[in-house]
A and B are shown apart, each in its own frame.
Chain A
């Protein structure tokens, strides 16, 4: 079993749709959690950190459930520019483990 698991998708949604990604992790001692965005043939870039209290950045909402060991990302009012691969990242003692990513395509 992988340490961090994501549904690979692909998710194909129309503009304006709401889409949610989930991620589960196996190490209960994990300390920090992030979502990254990666465009085709580019490097991963930090999208947002994830906290137990939940946090929002514009159309993006991230949530952490420590008891169930899963992380979620909600994107509202999807834009064409949201098309990318979204990576779930779990960090412990300075080392990060990356999920394989969920691919999102937003269509007109």
Chain B
């Protein structure tokens, strides 16, 4: 079974802080994704990566950056956290570059910015 692990289930940070969300998958998947999910807005893609050191912007990249130094790890960075970034953040992965296989999700991180 694919295991996607997110570093924190719940996180509380202050406005202006630099925030790191970590995601690790154990199935040697090439593709990794970061989403945020908000009531009434569904899942929105922030960034994704098809390979190590490679990243592509999703639909809402503003205020975020990512890092993929190793194949199994994909980090989401909030450069200067703001209250409108309070949300549920979900990491996912799939095998094979540009694969159309279903995504496997981590448990999610509920982030609150005060």
State the A residues within 8 Å of B (CB).
Answer: 31-32, 34, 36, 41-46, 49, 87, 89, 91-96, 98-101
- List residues of chain B with CB within 8 A of the CB of A44: 43, 90, 105
Q: A42-B108, A43-B108 are in contact. Are A95 and B102 (CB under 8 A)?
A: no
A87 to B94, CA, bound (A): 18
A41 to B42, CA, bound (A): 13
What's the nearest-Cβ distance from chain A to residue B13, in Å? 19
**Number of B residues, CB within 8 Å of A:** 24
| In contact, A49 and B102 (Cβ under 8 angstroms) | yes
**5 CB < 8 A contacts A-B:** A43-B106, A43-B108, A44-B43, A46-B102, A94-B99
| B97 interfacial contact with A, CB 8 Å | yes
What's the nearest-Cβ distance from chain A to residue B1, in Å? 12
Q: A32-B100, A43-B90 are in contact. Are A95 and B105 (CB under 8 A)?
A: no
- List residues of chain B with CB within 8 A of the CB of A42: 107-108
- List residues of chain A with CB within 8 A of the CB of B90: 43-44
- List residues of chain A with CB within 8 A of the CB of B33: 96
Q: How many A-B residue pairs have CB under 8 A?
A: 48
Other 15 A-B pairs with CB < 8 A, given A42-B107, A101-B42: A31-B100, A36-B102, A43-B105, A43-B107, A45-B105, A46-B102, A94-B31, A94-B94, A94-B98, A95-B48, A96-B103, A98-B42, A98-B43, A100-B40, A100-B42
A31 to B41, CA, bound (A): 24
| B101 interfacial contact with A, CB 8 Å | yes
Nearest residue (CB) in A for B110 is A41
State the B residues within 8 Å of A (CB).
Answer: 31, 33, 40-43, 45, 48, 50, 90, 94, 97-108, 110
- List residues of chain A with CB within 8 A of the CB of B50: 94
Nearest residue (CB) in A for B43 is A98
Nearest residue (CB) in A for B91 is A43
